[in-house]
């Protein structure tokens, strides 16, 4: 989140008013009793004033079973994949791609059309992704 957006959020949390200016016209929306729920993989990128207005909770990482169950549920609801297909995606992402990111499983799910393609596509992603070319 860039500094400008953090400042807008900070002002909203302090005043309950969201101010937007577009083409020399300012609009204000008031939110009574606003509550903010957010997640971050890198809390240090948030400004100190914004962090001071939040309660930080540190959640444990998913277990492999939890990860697999989430992948099964999401890939079924979004892409209509069966349980066996979804389990293979979860296994490959967890063990072969070495990540615990649900978004990686969803990305892989969009790219494959059969269970045999899961390992091949995962290997291709790992080989050619920017994060593997430091």
For the record, the structure tokens of 108 come out as 């892989």
Contact 67, 99 (CB under 8 A): no
Q: Give me the tens of pLDDT residue by residue for the chain, a chain 134 residues long.
A: 899 889 989 989 989 999 888 888 999 999 988 888 888 888 899 999 999 988 999 889 899 999 999 999 999 999 999 999 999 999 999 999 999 999 999 999 999 999 999 999 999 999 998 765 44
CA–CA dist 21, 11 (Å, integer): 14
109 vs 133: CA distance, rounded Å: 23
pTM summary value:
0.68
Task: Provide the token pair at 31.
Answer: 């939110």
Task: Give the pLDDT of residue 129.
Answer: 85
């Amino acid at each position: 989140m860039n500094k400008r957006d953090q400042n807008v959020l900070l002002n909203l949390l302090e005043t309950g008013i969201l101010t937007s200016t577009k083409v020399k016209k300012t609009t204000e929306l008031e939110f009574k009793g606003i509550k903010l729920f957010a997640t971050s993989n890198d809390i240090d990128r948030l400004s100190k004033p914004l962090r001071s207005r939040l309660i930080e909770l540190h959640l444990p990482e998913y277990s492999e079973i939890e990860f697999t169950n989430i992948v099964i549920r999401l890939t079924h609801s979004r892409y209509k994949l069966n349980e066996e297909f979804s389990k293979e995606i979860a296994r490959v992402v967890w063990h072969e791609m070495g990540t615990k990111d649900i978004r990686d499983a969803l990305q892989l799910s969009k790219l494959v059309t059969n269970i045999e393609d899961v390992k091949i596509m995962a290997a291709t992603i790992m080989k050619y992704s920017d994060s593997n070319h430091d």
